[in-house]
Amino acid sequence: MRRNLRIVAALLLVAAVIVWAATGANRGWTQTNIPRKIVDDVTGIEGIAYDKGFKPGRDFLGAAALGAGLLAGASFLFRKKLKPTDPINHPGQS
């Protein structure tokens, strides 16, 4: 169980970094509306239009790191499995 939790924690962190990097490595906050500049054809004035989308930011990485840390920390709550001792190799114990 301990090992499984640590593996899941590592996979969660790696997956979050891959998603963050694949979507543009936004160093700001997570955005759910992506701004894009538009230029009016008649007047030439620049404006901003918003498209629906998802761009994970630093808070996304922080939440993933926190979740991975909690999973890794929870792995310490479980005891290690002790191997049964062989009475032939340990005389005096029965």
Q: What is the DSSP string of 31-72?
A: EEEEEEEEE-TTT--EEEEEEEEEE--HHHHHHHHHHHHHHH
Per-residue confidence (pLDDT) for residue 82, from 0 to 100:
74
pLDDT band at 91 (very low <50, low <70, confident <90, very high): low
Residue-wise pLDDT for 24-80, tens only, equals: 888 999 999 989 999 998 998 999 999 998 899 999 999 999 999 999 999 999 887
**pLDDT for the residue numbered 20:** 93
End-to-end CA distance of the chain: 29
Domain positions in the chain are: 2-77
pTM: 0.69
Predicted pLDDT at 24: 86
Q: Return d(Cα 92, Cα 86) in angstroms, integer.
A: 11
